[in-house]
């Protein structure tokens, strides 16, 4: 996912946390969590915002995120 895609997704999730349901249906949560590893080339502030929104939403359980 390009950097502008991560930036756009972080803005969407700031405005509408219910979008996490769509990410879950598209099975993109695992891809985004892979980016959340230290040293990954896609690890940046936008990735942190996305993961924070996924954790804050009650649509995904903590077990699924782990």
Query: Between the CA of residue 30 and those of 27, 51, what are the distances in Å?
Result: 7, 11
Query: Between the CA of residue 64 and those of 5, 19, 45, what are the distances in Å?
Result: 23, 17, 22
Q: What is the pLDDT of residue 1?
A: 76
Give the residue ranges of the chain where pLDDT is below 70.
none
Q: Domain boundaries in the chain?
A: 3-65
- pTM of this structure: 0.79
Summary count for the chain: helices (H), strands (E): 5, 0
Cβ-based neighbours of 37, under 8 Å, separated by 6 or more? 43
Q: What is the pLDDT of residue 26?
A: 92
- Beta-carbon count within 10 A of 42 CB: 17
Q: What is the pLDDT of residue 66?
A: 73
């Amino acid at each position: 996912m390009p950097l502008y895609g991560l930036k756009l997704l972080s803005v969407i999730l700031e405005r509408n946390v219910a979008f996490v349901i769509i990410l879950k249906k598209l099975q993109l949560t695992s891809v985004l969590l892979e980016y959340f590893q230290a040293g990954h080339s896609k690890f940046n502030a936008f990735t942190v915002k996305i993961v924070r929104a996924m954790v804050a939403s009650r649509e995904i359980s903590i077990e699924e995120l782990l």
